[in-house]
Structure 1
Amino acid sequence: MLRLQSFQPVLRGEDLRAPMDIYQEAVRYLESHHVPVVVEAEPDVLEEDVFQEEAVSCFLSPLQTESIDFPDTPTLCSPEEMLERRLVVLKGILESEEVYLRELEALLMPMKALRASAGTSQPVLSSRQVQTVFYQVPELRDMHQSFYSGLKDRLSAYCQTHPSPGEEREMSHPGFELIVGDLFLKMVNQIGLYGGFIGNYEEAVEIVRKCTQSDPRFRTLAESMMSNNGADKARTKYTFEALLYKPLDRVTKTTLVLRDLLKTTPVEHKDYVALQETLRLSRSFLSGVNESSQRKREVTLSHGLRRQLMRDGFVVDVSEGDRNLRHLFLYTDLLLCTRFKHATRGKQDQYRFCWYLPLAGLKLRWVADQERSCDTNLRLHTIRTKMYLLRQQLQQQAKGYRGLHLAARSRKKLEQMELMLLTHSPHYRLELHSPSDKSHTLLFSSLYELEEWREAIYKLTTDNIETVPPDLLTLTSACVKLRMTQQPPLQSSNAVEDKEALCGTLSVAIHSACSLQQPTCVYVCVEVDGYEFYNKQAQTHSSVHSLNPHWDQELCFQVDGAQNLRVLCVGQSDGQDEAVLGKTTLKLESKSLIERWRRRTLQLGQVEVTLSLKYNPHPLEPPSSAAQEQPVFCVPIETVAQQEGVLVPHVVRCCVEEVERRGMAEVGIYRISGTTSEISMLKAAFNSNLREAVTRLRSAEVNAVSGVLKLYFRELPEPLIPTELFQSLARTLDIQDMDSRLVSMLSLLQSCPDANRHTFLYLIRHLQRISERQDINKMSLLNLATVFGPSLLRPPVAGVGHDGPAVDISQEVVVQVQVVFSYLQCNNLPEAQISVPYDTDPEDATTHI
């Protein structure tokens, strides 16, 4: 069968209509041979597109629900712009010819050896079989070699004379001097050579298949044909059948590439008439090919399997800055990106071809996208608010005919709003890079879904080799029948409401992870499903380099319709991209989670993550705009601890962990100040985004990290050791017996609020570990007490609820330093409790999933 597909090298950003033109050309060709095809509407009369990706991408109105058509017609351009595009097309043709010639050379490579073998007593192929397999291939090679040499010479001469676009206008533009029409006309006048090849193709392929199965010598040859391909001249592996298909594929591209070239050639150009005639001859030849050679044939891949659909789904494709919802199909040997079109009444659903990438040599990389602009966040918030209001209307719609009619309208609008959100909220990027320097970027809202796609693609790319090129028209048309995913993943499309779904607040406390293969910086990402009125994803901060990281970090979600929880553990190795270490899905059971914590240990591949869950059902408030996290500096420590659901604030823990990781041997740690600007930057980060703050902390100067910790305690509105204890602690210093003094001081410490007491104990333990390395860092217990004393303990302000005697300033410093020094000398301090105990019931044993 003649396979109609796009001419890939010339489908560049300069020609946005190429895929559509190719599709229409293929349709017209098939119709001329009486092959039934569902014809899409012409660009100027496009049917209503349910997805409205064009309308969404322009963001004309965040709440717009009416359809807007954006025709595919290109904008008018000047002759200069046309000629610049023409040059790009010609360079693409030259590159494509070079690749094609290498493929023909690779196909002809074994011809001499097979001919020589045919005269022996044990031939691999008979003389007749050799002639059949290679029929017309040398002639095709010579024809294209002549065309390639001529085109290369003229382009080289032109580029040497005109290395860059000049300032000439109209007919004086240097592009008018580049004449190539005669070369194309000469080649097309010899296109009849392809007629013989096409008529012989079926028999040649049959010989190759039979001999591959019956003769091990030929099988070895047929599965190991090589060609230097790509910009880096890397050797590419082909099958014999794949190489035999190349000329068949090439002849269908000839007409298409001539159309592309003619489109970019101004009418007044000397080549225009010659190219018109060339295109006419090419079309005439193509339409005259015997229809019997167009029979549909299944494609055999290089490893003997049939091409199969492995996975499909809706993704957001990024092209030239625009986001469009696309239907992606993963086959055993390629990725096919299509645009789905709902059919009007009485017609069949259709797919439009967008692009495809062979899996052979495909490289994958995922990253989190940069933060959205304030303008984008505002528009997304407007969409979410509209969705929330439509959802409320649906729940309150009256019954009866009118109620059903209104409900149908509300649901339609809700689906359209959710499609907008699905298109413009994703921020995880999956970058695809092929050996032929073609790249595409896909966006996902869910890291879990992205990882499923990445894993599926990665498995198929292992030991993959060049396969038979796809018949894009047939493959795209078959998507309607092959697809496994019918509709985009819209919560609003669910006709039946699940009574077990969660509506309210879901709290997830991430405790720790274990069973890591090696020490790594990791974080845990949690995702929930349901309506996306609120943020459906949250992450812990990144841990220190550890085998057993701890977070004790609480993540809260406002949910409507949530049924599943997805948990991922992501590793961050130094100098390498982030990698998902494991993932799992947990079914949310509202009855077991209501009003109490449920502790679970989840198995994420080889990693175990321990967390606790609690669900509080309640009516939901309208979504609020994306607000920053509550500040932590200059805020009472009890308030910060309560906000974070811990006893020791994250800013304290993270700074301590980082100092112990990199600063234990730093001379003068806590005494030598860090850069003021860097400390201010870290302070601002902790006040706005904990995750971002910890990421910056990992690469900040260690003295800046210690400076942030000192600044936090210094800026507390009330000191860590309450002011009312100052006089009592001062009196304990009069106790001469050290043991008795410490007993009294520990008793006073017990009267402190929980967050103050546990944070103080946590800090003292840290400073004791610092002093253990004083021979290197020169920080003794007394030095540390001198640094921290004035920040941790302050005398009461005279006249502000204080009736005792005033304290002399010099005496004040002595008390501050000596009190902290005494605590630092205590070896039997109680252990600090970092997080609030979760009130799990005794029968709630840890559940392994």
Structure 2
Amino acid sequence: MDVYQEAVHYLESQHIPVVVETEPEVLEEDVFPEEVVTSFLSPLQAESIDFPDTPTLCSTEEMLERRLVVLKGILESEEVYLRELETLLMPMKALRASAGTSQPVLSSQQVQTVFYQVPELRDMHQSFYSGLKARLSVHSQTDPSPGENREMGDASFELTVGDLFLKMVNQIGLYGGFIENYKAAVQVVRKCTQSDPRFRTLAESMMSNNGADRARTKYTFEALLYKPLDRVTKTTLVLRDLLKTTPTEHRDYPVLQEALRLSRSFLSGVNESSQCKREVTLSHGMRRQLMRDGFVVDVSEGEGSLRHLFLYTDLLLCTRFKHATRGKQDQYRFCWYLPLAGLRLRWVAVEERSSDTHLRTLHSIRTKMYLLRQQLKQQAKGTRGTVLAARSRKKLEQMELMLFTHSPVYRLELHSPNGKSHSFLLSSLYELEEWREAIFKLTTESVETVPPDLLTLSSACVKLRMTQQPPLHSTNTVENEKSLCGTLSVAIHSAHGLQQPASVYVCVEVDGYEFYDKQAQTHSSVLSLSPHWDQELSFQVDGAQNMRLLCVSQSDGQDDTVLGKASLWLESKSLSKRWKRQTLHLGQVELTLSLKYSAHPPDPPSSTAQQQPVFCVPIETVAQQEGVLVPHVVRCCAEEVERRGMDEVGIYRISGTTSDISTLKAAFNSNLREAVTRLRCAEVNAVSGVLKLYFRELPEPLIPPELFQSLARTLDIQDFNTRLVSMLSLLQSCPDANRHTFLYLMHHLQRVSEKQDTNKMSPLNLATVFGPSLLRPPKATLGQDGPAIDISQEVVVQVQVVFCYLQCNNLPEAQIALPHDTDAEDETTHM
């Protein structure tokens, strides 16, 4: 029996009717089960919660007509809300007066707690209501009658209300104080309702007139206290409704945009800081609290589908959104739920994401999004592009939503003790880790599992969702001039602070439009307490404002573990074409990196971010591509040999399997991260074989051919120290990448030779292996003069030159990477 059937049987056992195969009736959230709580719904709210939120294409005249309907609906709902606030405030004076008597109903402090900020909220909304009513009244007097033939738009365009909304939103901070005090106010009301019959009579019979029909509605005190919470969550929705029906050329449009931005910003802070408004009272009497919600791609039923996930204190609820028809309330349909008690978590990277078909699909979507983005920029410059811009934005949101469901690369698996398992996907490792942390924290606590009233809980999600929308960048109506557009380069240097040696990689994510890959990872380091990479990651960005970094430990045979994470705000004014070094604290891990940024118009997205090959390519080219002085293939192979091959007899002399070497070579030519992952588990002789093959296949030897004769002559110098001075002087004339790579290799081979008693590889043996690959004479050309060197003499020179360098005790240290700290001082950023 699946989860849905179990849920149906449970609901039926609780005498809750369930209609199978048809849409269930919407159950209003039962915030206070003992009382009937009447709440309002703005006229267009049923159309305002949808994903993606797209404007309806219509003429300017139709938009203005709808705008007027929206404004009248807002006015009506404000009138209802003001009556509710007045009803709430009605007993305040009497309770305050009784506080000074010998038998007070509430103390002065309790009165202040219960009514905190309510009078101020009433005054704010009264001012807004009066202003809006006056302007609509003036508009109705100037509006042409049906018999008049008057150009549409004169009166409607003259009706401006944006300043009223902006003034109200600028005072919305009053709700912050109310929300912080709400829990304390409810506690006072509940306590006094139980202990004082006088207050109980008052709290359970508060009456309010319903306007012209003089009907009276009965409220509880607690239900009225909930009204401001219910109201503030709808502010953003109301503004979105109004903005969607306001033409872009209308004077109100930019003002309403700013009001919407401020409202969203306030509610975003409320979502994080306040939990009291997220509570749902179930029929069992327990208080269940929403801890986190967001959008994921659910793969529990095979094909990935966009779902809204809600994490409560005791369960994880997966729902799908159903947009209601006009006049009805939006709904959430139950998909599945898992109790948190005993829940096991595991996250993995999705391997099948790199298939050619998948990459072609992503490229097609991104190309269309890029073209639509360019169209929107052009249409924004014109004054008559309202309809075209709306159509382009709708298509862009549809494409981005499609990309959201196709691009996830991480899977979070959930396994319940009762045998039920579910999985969902995300494209951000940072977001996945936040989900994992939130779930893990709750599962480690003592969680009491109570079977949920699924219909009521799913219906409650409409309110709990508030302004949360799928994370679509194209829904941002305001362009931020401070956002990055161009090329952002991130050089990951090293990390410190690990508690134990680990093989670690760094994952970097950026935001903005999804035309390009928004995530990149370094290769994994060798087992170390202080891993280092000196690896450059490059991002094409459009609209980027935030960068996220994660430090991840990779263990053989075990799941990857996130050691720490941080988020960095990107400011174009603080970035430049020069590298800027920073140190970030990712939990206990201290990560050193450098950033540089080059602003330019966005380039069209490329089909795939193909890595340039490294084998059979000049070393200067590889070093330049990677932004280093010693290619990663050299460093990674040498580090791996030093990790587990130093005691291997005949290391570098005994060759690995040809097929293994070929596989590693192909991996280094296509994907550095994958190559290093394969390197960690490959036979160590195959690793040493890859390093030898790299130098052997260089188009030109590591030591330039023109130095061959000069180095050969130094071998005739009898004094060894004088010979070394001459050889080191000749080495200085090599190109930077050649010189530093050669020095890096020599130091590595010296460390190998230090274990010659075990591995049987003396400096002479190592020189014999590497000499012919590192040093070769110039190729003979037609008409070339000069003494010819036979093959036996050539080999002697190659071996002896390398042997001399290996015997040098004061060999200069190699510089592995280009300097990235061109600014005068480093910055340390604590995250």
Provide TM-score, normalisation by structure 2: 0.67
- Specify which of 570, 592, 596 is matched with residue 610 of structure 1: 592
Q: Unpaired segments of 5 or more residues in structure 2?
A: 10-16, 29-35, 40-46, 58-278
Partner of 2:290: 309
After superposition, the Cα gap between the structure-2 partners of 1:399 and 1:543, relative to the gap in structure 1 and judged at 3 Å, is: closer
After superposition, the Cα gap between the structure-2 partners of 1:658 and 1:760, relative to the gap in structure 1 and judged at 3 Å, is: same
Q: Which amino acid aligns with 2:376?
A: L
Instruction: Give me the whole-angstrom Cα distance separating, in 1, the residues matched to 2:535 and 2:26.
Output: 62
After superposition, the Cα gap between the structure-2 partners of 1:564 and 1:800, relative to the gap in structure 1 and judged at 3 Å, is: farther
State the 1:501 CA deviation.
Answer: 0.1
Q: Which amino acid aligns with 2:321?
A: F
Instruction: Give me the whole-angstrom Cα distance separating, in 2, the residues matched to 1:10 and 1:471.
Output: 10
Q: Which amino acid aligns with 1:786?
A: T
Q: Which moved more, 1:754-763 or 1:566-575?
A: 566-575
Instruction: Give me the whole-angstrom Cα distance separating, in 2, the residues matched to 1:502 and 1:20.
Output: 51
State the 1:465 CA deviation.
Answer: 3.8
State the 1:345 CA deviation.
Answer: 3.9
Partner of 1:803: 785
After superposition, the Cα gap between the structure-2 partners of 1:434 and 1:845, relative to the gap in structure 1 and judged at 3 Å, is: closer
- Specify which of 510, 518, 525 is matched with residue 528 of structure 1: 510
Partner of 1:559: 541
Partner of 1:371: 352
State the 1:594 CA deviation.
Answer: 1.4
State the 1:37 CA deviation.
Answer: 14
- Specify which of 661, 673, 679 is matched with residue 661 of structure 2: 679
SS in 2 for 1:307: strand
Instruction: Give me the whole-angstrom Cα distance separating, in 2, the residues matched to 1:297 and 1:434.
Output: 24
After superposition, the Cα gap between the structure-2 partners of 1:841 and 1:816, relative to the gap in structure 1 and judged at 3 Å, is: same
Partner of 2:395: 413
1:716 aligns with 2:698: yes
Instruction: Give me the whole-angstrom Cα distance separating, in 1, the residues matched to 2:676 and 2:280.
Output: 57
After superposition, the Cα gap between the structure-2 partners of 1:530 and 1:643, relative to the gap in structure 1 and judged at 3 Å, is: same
Q: 8 Å contact 2:594–2:821 — kept in the other structure?
A: no
State the 1:482 CA deviation.
Answer: 1.3
Instruction: Give me the whole-angstrom Cα distance separating, in 2, the residues matched to 1:20 and 1:352.
Output: 13
Partner of 2:620: 638
Write out aligned runs for 1:135-146 (5 A): none
Provide TM-score, normalisation by structure 1: 0.66
1:322 aligns with 2:303: yes
Partner of 1:492: 474
1:343 aligns with 2:324: yes
Partner of 2:141: none
Instruction: Give me the whole-angstrom Cα distance separating, in 2, the residues matched to 1:656 and 1:408.
Output: 57
State the 1:670 CA deviation.
Answer: 0.3
Cα deviation per residue 1:225-274 (whole Å; 9 max; x = unaligned)? xxxxxxxxxxxxxxxxxxxxxxxxxxxxxxxxxxxxxxxxxxxxxxxxxx
- Specify which of 391, 408, 428 is matched with residue 410 of structure 2: 428
Instruction: Give me the whole-angstrom Cα distance separating, in 1, the residues matched to 2:731 and 2:740.
Output: 10
Instruction: Give me the whole-angstrom Cα distance separating, in 2, the residues matched to 1:719 and 1:325.
Output: 55
Write out aligned runs for 1:141-156 (5 A): none
1:502 aligns with 2:521: no
After superposition, the Cα gap between the structure-2 partners of 1:29 and 1:461, relative to the gap in structure 1 and judged at 3 Å, is: closer
Partner of 1:653: 635
Instruction: Give me the whole-angstrom Cα distance separating, in 1, the residues matched to 2:684 and 2:758.
Output: 16
Q: Which amino acid aligns with 1:788?
A: F
Q: 8 Å contact 2:583–2:827 — kept in the other structure?
A: no
Q: 4+ residue stretches of structure 1 with deviation over 6 A?
A: 35-38, 47-50
After superposition, the Cα gap between the structure-2 partners of 1:401 and 1:817, relative to the gap in structure 1 and judged at 3 Å, is: closer
Instruction: Give me the whole-angstrom Cα distance separating, in 2, the residues matched to 1:506 and 1:381.
Output: 21
Q: Which amino acid aligns with 1:521?
A: S
Q: Which amino acid aligns with 2:333?
A: R
Cα deviation per residue 1:703-735 (whole Å; 9 max; x = unaligned)? 000000000000000000000000000000010
Q: Which amino acid aligns with 1:686?
A: F
After superposition, the Cα gap between the structure-2 partners of 1:598 and 1:695, relative to the gap in structure 1 and judged at 3 Å, is: same
Partner of 1:548: 530
State the 1:653 CA deviation.
Answer: 0.1
Write out aligned runs for 1:39-188 (5 A): none
1:299 aligns with 2:297: no
RMSD: 2.9
SS in 1 for 2:702: coil
State the 1:597 CA deviation.
Answer: 1.1
Q: 8 Å contact 1:51–1:416 — kept in the other structure?
A: no
State the 1:348 CA deviation.
Answer: 2.3
1:825 aligns with 2:823: no
Instruction: Give me the whole-angstrom Cα distance separating, in 2, the residues matched to 1:742 and 1:581.
Output: 46
Q: Which moved more, 1:657-666 or 1:370-379?
A: 370-379
1:356 aligns with 2:337: yes
State the 1:814 CA deviation.
Answer: 0.3
After superposition, the Cα gap between the structure-2 partners of 1:533 and 1:807, relative to the gap in structure 1 and judged at 3 Å, is: same
Cα deviation per residue 1:363-387 (whole Å; 9 max; x = unaligned)? 1100000132211210110000000
After superposition, the Cα gap between the structure-2 partners of 1:800 and 1:480, relative to the gap in structure 1 and judged at 3 Å, is: farther
After superposition, the Cα gap between the structure-2 partners of 1:739 and 1:477, relative to the gap in structure 1 and judged at 3 Å, is: same
Q: Which amino acid aligns with 2:597?
A: Y
Instruction: Give me the whole-angstrom Cα distance separating, in 2, the residues matched to 1:847 and 1:51.
Output: 37
State the 1:845 CA deviation.
Answer: 4.3
Q: Which amino acid aligns with 1:644?
A: E
- Specify which of 560, 567, 576 is matched with residue 594 of structure 1: 576
After superposition, the Cα gap between the structure-2 partners of 1:333 and 1:734, relative to the gap in structure 1 and judged at 3 Å, is: same
Partner of 2:181: none
Q: Which amino acid aligns with 1:8?
A: E
Q: 8 Å contact 1:569–1:583 — kept in the other structure?
A: yes
Instruction: Give me the whole-angstrom Cα distance separating, in 1, the residues matched to 2:382 and 2:806.
Output: 76
1:8 aligns with 2:1: no
Instruction: Give me the whole-angstrom Cα distance separating, in 2, the residues matched to 1:797 and 1:760.
Output: 21
Partner of 2:563: 581
- Specify which of 425, 433, 452 is matched with residue 451 of structure 1: 433
Q: Unpaired segments of 5 or more residues in structure 1?
A: 12-18, 39-46, 54-64, 66-295
Cα deviation per residue 1:481-508 (whole Å; 9 max; x = unaligned)? 1124521011000000000000000000
Q: Which moved more, 1:807-816 or 1:457-466?
A: 457-466
Instruction: Give me the whole-angstrom Cα distance separating, in 2, the residues matched to 1:457 and 1:390.
Output: 38
Q: 8 Å contact 1:313–1:485 — kept in the other structure?
A: no
Q: 8 Å contact 1:300–1:468 — kept in the other structure?
A: no
After superposition, the Cα gap between the structure-2 partners of 1:394 and 1:729, relative to the gap in structure 1 and judged at 3 Å, is: same
Cα deviation per residue 1:665-699 (whole Å; 9 max; x = unaligned)? 00000000100000000000000000000000000
Q: Which amino acid aligns with 1:576?
A: Q
Instruction: Give me the whole-angstrom Cα distance separating, in 1, the residues matched to 2:350 and 2:821.
Output: 38
Q: State, as a whole percentage, how many aligned pairs show the same letter.
A: 79
SS in 1 for 2:414: strand
Instruction: Give me the whole-angstrom Cα distance separating, in 2, the residues matched to 1:740 and 1:716.
Output: 31
State the 1:435 CA deviation.
Answer: 0.8
Cα deviation per residue 1:529-578 (whole Å; 9 max; x = unaligned)? 00010000000000001000000000000000000010000001232110
Q: 8 Å contact 2:300–2:424 — kept in the other structure?
A: no
Q: How many residues align?
A: 585
Partner of 2:647: 665
Cα deviation per residue 1:397-423 (whole Å; 9 max; x = unaligned)? 055663111111111110000000001
State the 1:344 CA deviation.
Answer: 4.0
Q: 8 Å contact 1:312–1:485 — kept in the other structure?
A: no
Instruction: Give me the whole-angstrom Cα distance separating, in 2, the residues matched to 1:578 and 1:844.
Output: 31
State the 1:637 CA deviation.
Answer: 0.3
Q: Which amino acid aligns with 2:698?
A: L
Instruction: Give me the whole-angstrom Cα distance separating, in 1, the residues matched to 2:779 and 2:382.
Output: 71
State the 1:29 CA deviation.
Answer: 11
SS in 2 for 1:360: coil
Partner of 1:192: none
Q: Which amino acid aligns with 1:834?
A: I
Instruction: Give me the whole-angstrom Cα distance separating, in 2, the residues matched to 1:457 and 1:477.
Output: 22
- Specify which of 715, 719, 725 is matched with residue 743 of structure 1: 725
After superposition, the Cα gap between the structure-2 partners of 1:767 and 1:802, relative to the gap in structure 1 and judged at 3 Å, is: farther
